[in-house]
Every structure is written in structure tokens, then in C-alpha cells.
Structure 1
Amino acid sequence: KSGDQTVKDSIYSAYQMERIKQLASEVPSNNLVLERYNERKALKQLSQQRIKSWGNTVMGSRLKRLAATDERARLLELERQKQDREWAIVREKEREDAIARAKFLLRAEDPRVRTLHSQLLMSNVLQERDKQLVYKTRRGIAMKIHEKEETLKQRLQHLDAIEKEKEELQNAHAKRFNFAKDLRQEIAVRAAEREKLKKAEKEANTNHSGDIRKELQEKAKHNRENKAKEALEIDRTLIGQINEKKAIQEDLLVKSMELDDSNTRFNNMKNMFAEQKKKFAEQQASERMARYEVVAKLNIDANNEAKETRAKLLEAVTNAPSGIVRQIRDTDKINLKQQYLKEQEEFLRIHNEKKQKLLEAALEIKEKDRAKNIQEGELWKQEKEAAEERKKKTLLDIKAHHVEQINFNAVRKLEEKKKKLQQDAVAIERATKDNADFEEYASEMIRQWKADGKNVAPVLNTLEKERPGYVKKRPGMMKTEFDHFERLGFTVRWMPVDPILPPK
């Protein structure tokens, strides 16, 4: 019943009904299978497109997650691109600053700019000097004012001191007058008291003169005893010092004797060693002389023996019979003569044979050389003609190459000239720009220096020297107030160029 209800409730379109009928009536084929596959694939893609927005499916959540990841990556990429653009701006700013700094350094290395800077520093120095002069002038004026004030103050103090001194002198004079008055009164009183004391002493001396004499004698005795004790102590101290000094001298004497004894033993040992060394040297010399004598004796014996042998041989030859010796000599001469004649004949025979062979060989070689010379002459003639042809061809090739090289050099020189003109134009343009920049920079610096109230005369003089076409004026080029030639009686300003020679 539920199936029937589903069929009743289902609604199909005309296309779907037509498709159902077609599928039910036709036999499946390969094209139909492919169409069904494509249809299912399209339906699947359509289904996937629909479920992209569904959050309760695996595919939908995965697509959302991938989309969120892509969005984060896109935002990160945008942020990275923004940072790259900002960093590029910073790098470009740093590059521009570096270029400006490099240009400033290059411009600072320019001799004109360096001269300008030096003159600007000179302006600073002149300004500082002017300030110092103003300060010195003001300080001198202030010092003079201060000195005058001090002088006036000292004069006033001196006058006050003089007034005080006058008052003190008057007071002192009054005090001295009062003191003299009191002193005269006191002298009179003391004179009266002294008269009274003298009378009293006379009376006392008569009573106590014996006691005073006894006391003085005891004091003198006590002083003599003290002096004797002090002298005894001094003698004891001196005796102790003398004994101590004697002990030190005796100790030094003993040590000196011991040192002399050791020196004596050392010198004795040294002399003994010297004697032993001398004896050993004499013994070696005597042994050496003995060896020389033995060797000389052996040589003398050998020479004597050789002399005896030569004398015996000479005596044997001298004492031999003269006839036997002469016969031996004649026989030897005959044998030698025959042997010489045989050798001479054999030599002449061999020499003639060799001479004949050499003559024949020379004739044969001469014929061969003649034929060879004729052949070589022909070859030389042919080679000479070929060499002349090659030379002519080479000269023609060289001439053609020279023409080509001349044309190439002309074109190259023309290109170099054009390139040089372009470089000169660029250099002139650059120099003009540098001059304009320098003038602008110098004008700006002069304007600033003038605004600061500094002396710019050195800078202006330097810029005048840097100006093209500047000629330094010498004293002779400057106009003077007086004409010294006319003043001295000269009619013209003429200076001889050639030396003036005396007349012949």
C-alpha cells in the first residue's frame, strides 16, 4: 500500500516520462552506457554543488574547512604583500639615503668643494677671531675699569688708614704721657722702698752670713762629687769602646792572615800545574823530534841504497869489453835498416793502392755530383718560378688585406670619433651640471654664513679664483696713482729684448 501511495504521489515531468519510455523501449548500447555515465557524473557534480552550503555533511564541512584555510592563506598573502610593499618603501628610502650620502661624499671629495669647505672653516676662524678681538677689547675695558675702581678703593682705604694711624698716634702719645707720669711716681715709691730694704739687709747680713757660707760650701762639694762620678762613667764607656775596637781589629787581622794563607796555597798549586804543563809540553816536543829523526834516517838509508845500485850498474857497463859492445851495436843497426826498408816498401805499396782507389772514387763522385747539380738546378729553377708566383699572390693578398684594413680602420676611427664626441658631450653636460650644483651649493652655504653674520670674503675670493677665465692680477697689471716712468724722465715704456752689443 505504501508503494502504491508513493507511485500516486510521484510527479514526473514530460521530459522524464519521455526518457523513461525511451530507456524501456531501446536496447542498451555503448553510446547509451556513456550517456548514462555522463548523466550520473553530472548529477553527482550537481549534488556536490548543492551540498557545499550544508554544514551537517562531511563534504560540506570539509569544503568549509578548505574554504576557511584558503581564506586564511589569502589574508596572510595579502598581509605579506602589504609588508613587502612597506619594506620595499623602507628599502627604497634607505637606498635613496645611501645614494644621497654617496653623492655627498663624492661631492665632498671634489677639490672645489674641499676648497670651499676649507674657506668656510676659515670664515668660522675669522668669526671666532673677531669674537675674540671683541672679547679682548671688552675685557681690556673691564680690566681698566676694575683697576681704576681698585685704585680708588685702595686710595680710600689708604686715607682711612692714615686717619686711623693719626688717631692711634694721638692715643699712644696720650698713653705714653700718662705712663711717664705714673712711672715717675712709681720710681719715687720704689726708691723709698729700696732704701728701706737696704737697711733691712744690712741688719740681716750680720746675723746670717755664717749660715750662708756653710750652705755654699756644701753645694760646691756636692757638685765636685757629681762631676767625678760623671768623669768615671765616661772613662768606663771609652775603655769599653776601645776594647771592642781592638777585638774587631784582631778578628780582621786573623781573617786577613787566613786569606793570605789560602792565596799562597792557590798560587803554589797554580805554579805546580804550570810546571807540570811545561814539562808535558817539553816531553811532547822531544818525542816529536825523535819521530822526525827516525823518519829522516829511513829516507837517508833508502837514498844511499839507490845510489849504490846505480853506481854498481854504471861500473858494470863501464868495465865491459869494448869489442863485444861494438859488435852488438853493428848487428842491431843492420837489422834495423833492413826492417826499415821493408816497412817503407810496404807503406809505399799500400799508399799507392789507396791513392788509386781514392782517385777512382773521386771521379765517380764527381760524375754523380755533376748529374745531381744539373737536376738540382732544374728543381731550383722550378722552385724559384713557383716562389715568385707565390710571392706575387701573397703581395696581392696583402694589398687586398691592407685595403680592407684601411677601410676597417677608417670606419672604426669614425665610430670612435662619434663615440668620443658623445662622451665629450656627456662629460660637458655632466661638468655643466656639476658646476651648476656646485654654484647652487656654494650660494646656499654663503647665504647661510651671511645669515649667521660670518665673514664670507675668503669664500668669495676662492669662488672668484674657481671662475672660468680667471686671471690673477700681478703688480704690473694694476693701475697706480703715480706714473713712475714719467716721474723719472722716461718718455716711453720700452724694455730691450735683444742684448745691446757694443759697436765694432
Structure 2
Amino acid sequence: LEENNVLDGCFLLNEVNLRQVIVLPKAEWERIQDSLDSTTREAARILAEQKEREEMRLRSKAAVKDWPNTIMGLAQRKLKAKKLREEREEEERKRLDLEEQQFQATKRKEAIDCAKTYLYYQTERVKGFHSALLLAEVLKERDAQVEFKKLKSDINKKKDEEKEHECKEAILREQEKAHQHYLNQQALRRDQLEQIKERKHQADLAKLEDKREGEQLQRLNRLYQLEIQRKMEKEREEKVEHQRLYHEHVSDQKIIKAIEEQKQMEEDDRIKAHFKAKQTIAKLIKEKKAEMHRLKQEHQDKIIRQLAVQMNEALKREDDRLARDIEKKEAEQEKKRKEKEAKEKAAMESIAEHRAAVLKMKAEKEREEKAEGKKELHALMEENRIYLEMEKAKKQRQRDASMEVQKIQIQQMAEKQAKHQQEKQADLDYEAQREATALCKEREFQSYAKQVIESESKTTHHLYPLLKAYKDGRGLGYRPFSRAREGINTSFQAQDDAGTQLPYSCTT
């Protein structure tokens, strides 16, 4: 049965009628299977392609990773170069910072050394030594000036001798030059005589030439005069001709003028006739205007008379109206006056009533104030008693407080005494420290002074000021004073128990 149910590798369900089973060809079956599994196969194909592309991308990436001519390779090289450059810049900055720190430290050290040197030079001992050094320098300079003066006198003497020798040589040269000048002058005079003779000959020749030129000019002048005479004759002829033409022109002008005068007379006659006609017309116009003005004036007078009548009537009506208004106003004023008198009378009565009420209230108020005064007196006496009791208690408290203050003052005095002892001990410690510092400074000064004296001894023999300043110190405690006892020189330990300095005497 199982063998019957198996058909070409396919399993059939039990109790299936084989006659009702449809048998499909293999190709059709595969087509159906393909149509059913197409989605799954498509998804598998896409996944396979994606996987293949990813593998290819990884292989390509691994292959081009080390290529130098790709964009990624260039970017990697730029990043590496940038990183190296930043590291170098950071190292350079660190180096510069270190150099700057060293430079600043050197500057600070130099500034501190300069300040220390300046403060050291400002001490009185060093100032005195420098003054002695300046004196030694001055003495050395003075010796140098004396030596220079001697040397200068010798040099001046030599210069004077040289100048005298030069003067003698100059005199000889001048004499020789004068002789040469005399010879030159003689030669010059001879040349000048020859030049004078030559110039005289030239002057004679010039005179002859001038004479010939004068004769030529006279001949030309005669020709010029003849030419001028001919020209004047020609001008006289032209003048006569011009006069003739002028007379003809004048006669023509007279004829033209007579004609124009005739025309002007005719024109004047026409103008006079026109002027007379114009005067006649103006006279008629003037008469017409006078008539119109007369009529206009009559009309205006008539209008003025009518207006005067109307104004008189209006004034009369206005006077009647004003009279009525005045009578009415006087009646109103009389009425107001009567009302005012009635009001004043009522006000006076009200004032009298108010005054009586006020007097009554004032009497009652005085009685009440007397009663209040008695009560206040009793209260004031009670307050005075309480105040006296409080003052008594206050004085007791003040006595107690003063006792406490005395105790505090005693305690403060004890503390002050202890503090004074501490300050005294601090002063002693300070003096010891100051003396040690002064000793150190003295050694430093001695070393500095020795160096300066040795240096100056090589250039000058005036070492007395330096040696005096070197030996004339006034002890280790020169100049400083105690902080606690200002004004007391602590250079000496001669003092009593209270810290008072004993008299000082110095014998030399």
C-alpha cells in the first residue's frame, strides 16, 4: 500500500482514491513549483548578489588600501602629514614656552640682582666709599690735568718754534713772490704800451671810415630831401582835388537839406491839424465826465439822506429798549437787596444761637479738663515713684559694671606687661639678628672695597680717601635703630635693665 501511495518521490495521503488523482507532467509540475517558489528564489538571489557585492567591495577596499594615487590614499597622507605638522608645531610651542620661561627667569634674576646692587649702593657706608672713590678719581684727574698742562706747554713751545721757522720761510717766499710780481708788472706794462699803440692805429682807421660814412650819409640825405619835396607837391595837388570835391558835396547837401525842410514843414502842418482834433475830442470827453460825476453825486446825496432818516429811527428804538431794560434791572436789584437783608438777619440770629451753645460747651469742657488734670497728676506721681526705683536699680548695676571693668583692666594690665616683656625679648632677638646681618654686610663691604682699591691702585697713587673710607666704619650697628625704642642707637650693648642706653664716650 505504501508503494502504491508513493508516486515519483511524492507522498500521497492515506485513503486517497488514485482514480481521482490528477497526474501532471513533470514540466508542468516544475512550472507550478517555479511559480510558487519564485518569491523565495528572488529573495535568495538578491541576498546572494548583495553578499557578492559586499565581498567585492571588501576585496576592492583591501586592494586599494595601499594605493598612493587614490583619493582615500591622498586623504590619509594629508591626515598623517597634518598630524605630524601639528606634533611638530606643538613641540615648537613647548620649546618656545620653555625658552620664554628661561628668558623670563633670567630677566627676573637680572632685575633682582640690579635691585640688590642698587640697594647695596644706597647704604651710607657704600655711599661714603663711593664719595671717597669719586675724590680719588678727581685727584687722579687733577694729576692727569697737571701732566697734560706740562705736556701742553712743551708742545706749545715746539709749536712756537715751528711757527717762527714757518714765518721766516713765509717771508722769504713773499720776497721771492714780490720780485716775480715786479717782473710780471714790467712785462705787463710793455704789453700795455704795445696795445695802446695798436688801439691808436685802430682809432685812426676808424676816423677815416667814419668820414667816408659821413659823406655817404650826406649824399643820401640830399636824395631823401628831394624825394620828400616831390611827395609834398603831390600831396598839395591831391589836397586841391579834395577841396573841389568837398565843395561839390556841400552844394549837394544844401539842396537835399532844402528838400527835407519842405517835407518837414508839410509834416508839421499835418501834426498840428491832428493835435487840434485831439484837443476837441478831449474837451468833449471832459464835459461828459463832469456831467456823469454831477449825476453820481446827486444820487449819493439822496442815498445819504435816506440812511440818515433810517438811522435816526433805529436810534430812537434803541433808546426806548435801553430805558425798559434799565427799569427792569433796577427792579431786580431791589428784589435782591431785600432778599440779602433777610438772609443777613437770619445769619445774625443763627450766630447768636451758636455763640450761646459754644459758651455752654466750653464751660463743660473746662470742668472735664479739671477732672482729667487731677487724674494725670496722680498718674505722674506714680510714674515718678517708679522712675526713682528704676534709677536706684540702674546705679546698682553701674556699680557692679564698674567692678567688672576694674577686674578687666587689671587683667589687661597683666597681659600688657607680658606683651611688653615679649616685645623686649623680640627686640633683643632682632638686635642679635641685625648685628649678624651687619657683620655680613661689613664683610661684603670689605671685600668690595678691597677690589676697588686694588683696581684703583693700578691707575693712581691717591688712595688715601679710599683707605680712609675703608677704615672709618662706625661699628656694626651704624645707622639702624630699634623698632620698639625709636631714637635709641642699639649699636652698643651698654644699657640698663629697663633698656635705657647709657652715655657714650669715645676717645681717640
TM bin, normalised by shorter chain, reads: 0.3 to 0.5
Q: Which has the higher contact order (CA 8 A, sep 6+)?
A: 1
TM-score, normalised to structure 1, is: 0.36
